[in-house]
Structure 1
Amino acid sequence: MIDTGNQHTVKTVLSIAGFDSIGGAGLQADSKTISALGCYAMNVITALPIQNTLGVRSVYPIPDQAVKDQLNCIFDDIYPDSVKIGMLPNPKQVEIVARFLEDYKGNIVIDPVMVSTSGHSLVDQETIALSTQVLYSMATLVTPNLDEASMLIGCKVSNVEEMNQAIDKLINMGMPAVLLKGGHLDSEKLSSILKIRGQRPEIFESERIASKNTRGTGCTLSSAIASYLALGDPLPIACEKALDYVYQSILAAKDISLGKGNGPLNHFFTR
């Protein structure tokens, strides 16, 4: 006889993102992160980038209707506790996701994927503009890096002073909260800034780790924040825990040799 008295639920996190055939970024990094943090990972695939540790060779968008069908299929069965949105390769997919999630009741974390770790442009200006108009305002949190913030506000962001100016501009563009990541700062101490509309900014600092294995850090961070939010942490705590998780994942992977370029993090460093 099956004992139904001991059933318990697991928090669920949906990743809407692109595929990575070598498993270091995109959906795969999201799923590893969500699983490592004790949640259940679900996926909607939006694009098939052809890539390895050396870079992105090309990007094939998934048919728009297939993205919509995936969303319907998942929500018909399992309502996610939080949603992470990564790569949306064209305006139609931005529109589909924004319309589908307009009545969603959980937390939404958006990683505005625009440029790959290797410097390859992943979306066009029309997609970026539409995301700014209809998607980012829906988010609990948007997590741009310095390059993405520069593209969004139209001027270079390269130091902490410019980060403080940029984050105010991003909030004024309609984003409820922004975590501006400082991983691209040219310094040994890295600063990331969290700004929630109407509140004072909070700065998180860490030491730079000498490693080429930084593939998928943005994917990992955003899905970690989404996981901690699903588990019930308030946004500042979720960001602090997620930044530490990424730091430990990079530290645990720094001596691993995998591929000829930017290798992945060690998402399961505790095992």
Structure 2
Amino acid sequence: MNIVMTIAGSDSGGGAGIQADLKTFQELDVFGTSVITALTAQNTLGVHGIFPATPEFVEQQLNAVLDDLKVKALKTGMLFSKEIIERIAKKLREQQIQIVVDPVMIAKGGHALLKEDAVQAMIKELIPIATVVTPNIPEAEAITGMAIDTEEDIKQAAEKLLSIGVGCVVMKGGHMDEPTATDRIYFQDGSTFQLKSKRIHTKHTHGTGCTFSAAITAYLGRGFSVKDSIIEAKKYVQSAIENPLHIGNGHGPTNHFAHRFHSAEVEVIE
């Protein structure tokens, strides 16, 4: 059995965070474990409250799983604080586990999910040991300290992230003003490729980043290469976006089981 893990916050509305990750793991045939960094009172209209776990309890959860189960790949999502990031990174440096970092900072409704001093901790402690990092454009701007408006900006930001030590950078293109949704992927060895998909004009995108990074983690856990994991994850999340559930009164969740009934077209450009 392929075992994977999510280290993230809980979303009481079920569309993002731990809930989205575990749904994705189940759909993609891996056994999901979890470390919860914070509870949120959350729905499609926004985040109404956050109750963080103590760094000590986060570490206790992590130790409990890793001491008993052989985790092949894991992802991080909402990590909340500098202290939590430091404890997680210290433990993960001792492990042989592929790590996907989704640098969650802001919720769809605009609520901050990461303390300001935690950004530097992520840059210093976590990104250097990651296999893949999956920032959207605002997250990449916050990490690199540069404005990103053009394709050349995207490349320069990715190079800055690679210089920190991460093995692969997925620069997600959902926030760019382009006719297609284009993700640009960069590796340490200088190789690159792009994934182009139909841009879907919908407000039902809650949990998209969580779901995408969880899908990458699931495929890595199943033994796929980094490149193939990213491609298959893109197909999975594209199907989830194209076939929304239309629930809630705000930013509704993606459809985690859409892939069972609908295939998505994703163009791979080498």
TM over 0.5, shorter chain: yes
Q: Would you identify which runs of 4 or more consecutive aligned residues in structure 1 move more than 6 Å?
A: none
After TM superposition, give the deviation of residue 82 of structure 1 in Å: 0.7
After TM superposition, give the deviation of residue 257 of structure 1 in Å: 2.3
After TM superposition, give the deviation of residue 210 of structure 1 in Å: 2.0
State yes or no: 1:21 paired with 2:12.
Answer: yes
> d(CA) in 2 for partners of 1:173 and 1:74?
28
State yes or no: 1:222 paired with 2:213.
Answer: yes
Aligned match of 2:146 in 151, 155, 179?
Answer: 155
TM-score where L is the length of structure 2: 0.93
> d(CA) in 1 for partners of 2:149 and 2:5?
32
Contact 1:160 1:191 in 2 (8 A): no
* Superimposed CA distance per residue, residues 75-130 of structure 1 (whole angstroms, 9 cap, x where no aligned partner): 12212111111111111101110111112112110101111122222112210001
> Secondary structure in 2 aligned to 1:262?
coil
After TM superposition, give the deviation of residue 164 of structure 1 in Å: 1.5
> d(CA) in 1 for partners of 2:79 and 2:22?
17
After TM superposition, give the deviation of residue 131 of structure 1 in Å: 1.0
Aligned to 1:183: 174
State yes or no: 1:113 paired with 2:104.
Answer: yes
Superposed, 1:135-214 pairs within 5 Å as 135-214=126-205
State yes or no: 1:82 paired with 2:73.
Answer: yes
Higher strand share: 2
After TM superposition, give the deviation of residue 73 of structure 1 in Å: 1.1
* Deviates most, 173-182 or 102-111: 173-182
Aligned to 1:99: 90
Aligned match of 2:24 in 18, 33, 36?
Answer: 33
Aligned to 1:262: 251
> d(CA) in 1 for partners of 2:90 and 2:116?
20
Aligned match of 2:50 in 59, 66, 76?
Answer: 59
* Superimposed CA distance per residue, residues 132-189 of structure 1 (whole angstroms, 9 cap, x where no aligned partner): 0011111111111001001011122233232112111211233221111111112221
> Secondary structure in 1 aligned to 2:10?
coil
> d(CA) in 2 for partners of 1:246 and 1:64?
31
Q: Mark the CA change 1:53 to 1:158 in structure 2 (over 3 Å): closer, same or farther.
A: farther
TM-score where L is the length of structure 1: 0.93
**Counterpart amino acid of residue 214 in structure 1:** T
CA root-mean-square deviation: 1.2
> d(CA) in 2 for partners of 1:120 and 1:160?
28
* Deviates most, 166-175 or 129-138: 166-175
**Counterpart amino acid of residue 232 in structure 2:** K
> Secondary structure in 2 aligned to 1:157?
coil
**Counterpart amino acid of residue 181 in structure 1:** K
> Secondary structure in 2 aligned to 1:237?
helix
Greater Cα radius of gyration, structure 1 or 2: 1
> d(CA) in 1 for partners of 2:227 and 2:192?
10
> d(CA) in 2 for partners of 1:257 and 1:217?
15
Q: Which runs of 5+ in 1 are unaligned?
A: 1-9
State yes or no: 1:125 paired with 2:135.
Answer: no
> Secondary structure in 1 aligned to 2:51?
strand
> d(CA) in 2 for partners of 1:174 and 1:81?
20
* Superimposed CA distance per residue, residues 10-55 of structure 1 (whole angstroms, 9 cap, x where no aligned partner): 1111100000001000000000001100001111100112221111
> Secondary structure in 2 aligned to 1:46?
strand
